[in-house]
Amino acid sequence: MKRLDDFRLRLGRHELVPIVIGGMGVDISSADLALEAARLGGIGHISDAMIKTVSDRRYKTKYVKAKQAMYQYNVASIDKSAVKFDLGDLAEATRLHVEHTMARKTGSGLVFINCMEKLTMNAPKETLAIRLGAALDAGIDGITLAAGLHLGSFALIEQHPRFRDAKLGVIVSSLRALQLFLKKNARLNRLPDYVVVEGPLAGGHLGFGMDWAEHDLATIVAEIRRYLVQEQLDIPLIPAGGIFTGSDAVRFMEAGAAAVQVATRFTVTRECGLPDEIKQEYFKADADDIEVNQISPTGYPMRMIKASPGIGDGIRPNCEAYGYLLDANGKCAYITAWNREVAAHPGAKRVSVPDKTCLCTHMRNFAIWTCGQNAWRLKDTSLKRADGSWQLLGTEHVFNDYRFSTDERIALPEPEAAAT
């Protein structure tokens, strides 16, 4: 009976334990979580989502306050096109986060950064180029291009001295998306170093429509694999979404995967960036407490726990402080929905917006609890305390459970010493 540890992921000169902890914005896949994965010989991700507020929280900078003060005059306006990101600050915040993380790295594994194209930031190309370039400058081992097609992202950094030596990967949810990426980037003579194939059971945004349940990760991986073999392209494939046990992972490895990307099981670890009380909400969730909805202004369906306080909330759009989802014309679907509700309820102190959410504010405040479809099984991975709460897990414990378990088993943690 094989274990995940019987396999290795080869990326250039690196030989890695084939476990990738996926990026989870905003700072849910914290530096501590990513560094544990690297220490244990796998790959961890930090995320560059809302990096300025992450930097303020972690490194005591004041980027958000400064931006808010600069655009205070615009708060009451529905036109947010004036609200721009200072590109120098953006580069500095990215550098801070990456440098602080990489300075603490130990072990033989790698730390990558997850970069979501859908954070269009009122200047999609300019801000993306800065984010990618600054992460490379600051010594990140690799970049995973996520949420969006990223057809032009390689070109944005083709002049960077690390363009050919840093590991660069893409996340796709279909063969067609990968084909488009490869076609668009053919002239650069630089293939992705790995392809994460994210299926319909993943957390975060989905690369599917509301018909997600009709798709199946194993089928998509097999289709992409056949295509790569046929084209004689040797690119490691990394399936993601719903891989909950070491045995699930081994099935993918035996079908030709190079590694697996996992996330949900790490949301209840001590190193995960979610506040501890919210980790308890993840433990508590039952299968029918989890939904895929369309409230994200990105336009992509997103999976979340129905009790997330950000669902249906009608907070005033906070673009002057954040504004990560403003498109190239300074628009965001939440602003449109919020204005509609305000117009429909004149004089109301606070409106409710059922169909969209202010994702920046709520992800920043951990008020949208996104999770994978299997989050309801998290309670099977830990022990209940006498007060009804669940024990948090060590990242090392969960990592090693994926690595060494067989027969669909999930190793439980040692019971905590009772508090005195």
Q: Which is nearer to ligand FMN, 71 or 366 (CB)?
A: 366
Q: How far is the CB of 260 from ligand FMN (least distance, A)?
A: 8
Q: Which is nearer to ligand FMN, 129 or 398 (CB)?
A: 398
Residues that bind ligand FMN (CB under 6 A): 22-25, 28, 47, 49, 114, 116, 146-147, 171, 198, 201-204, 240-243, 261-264, 267, 370-372, 374
Distance CA(89)–CA(91), nearest Å, equals 5
Q: Quick one: 54 or 147, whose CB is closer to ligand FMN?
A: 147
Question: Residue 296: helix, strand or coil by DSSP?
Answer: coil
SS3 172: strand
Smallest distance from the beta carbon of 348 to ligand FMN, in angstroms? 32
**Shortest Cβ contact with ligand FMN: which residue?**
22
- In whole angstroms, the minimum distance from the beta carbon of 298 to ligand FMN comes to 11
Q: How far apart are CA 83 and CA 398, in angstroms?
A: 42
User: Given the complex with ligand FMN, which of 201 and 295 has the nearer CB atom?
Assistant: 201
Cα angle: 169, vertex 253, 23; to 5 degrees: 35
Residue 300 Cβ vs ligand FMN, minimum distance, rounded to whole Å: 11
CB-nearer residue toward ligand FMN: 49 or 351? 49
Query: Least distance to ligand FMN from the beta carbon of 342, Å?
Result: 29
Distance CA 406, CA 266 (A): 19
| Contact between 93 and 322 (Cβ < 8 Å) | no
Nearer to ligand FMN, 296 or 314 (CB): 296
Least distance to ligand FMN from the beta carbon of 117, Å? Answer: 10
Smaller CB distance to ligand FMN: residue 334 or 338?
334
> In 3-state terms, what secondary structure has residue 247?
helix
Region of residue 122 (phi > 0: left; psi between -120 and 50: alpha; otherwise: beta): left
Q: Report, in Å, the least distance between residue 146 CB and ligand FMN.
A: 3
Q: What sign for the dihedral angle of Cα 207, 208, 213, 218?
A: negative
What sections of 6-123 are H helices per DSSP?
31-39, 51-59, 63-70, 87-103
Token pair 């979501």: residue: 116
C-alpha distances (whole Å) from 160 to each of 131, 155, 164, 256, 262 are 12, 10, 9, 33, 30
**Minimum CB–partner distance for residue 31 and ligand FMN (Å):** 15
Question: Min. distance of Cβ 77 from ligand FMN in angstroms?
Answer: 29
Q: Tokens 């790295």 correspond to what residue?
A: 105
Choose between 80 and 279: whose C-beta lies nearer to ligand FMN.
279
- Tokens standing for residue 280: 């308890």
Taking the mean position of all CA atoms in its chain, how far away is CA 298?
14
Q: How many CB atoms lie under 10 A from the CB of residue 372?
A: 26
Q: Are 381 and 265 in contact (CB under 8 A)?
A: yes
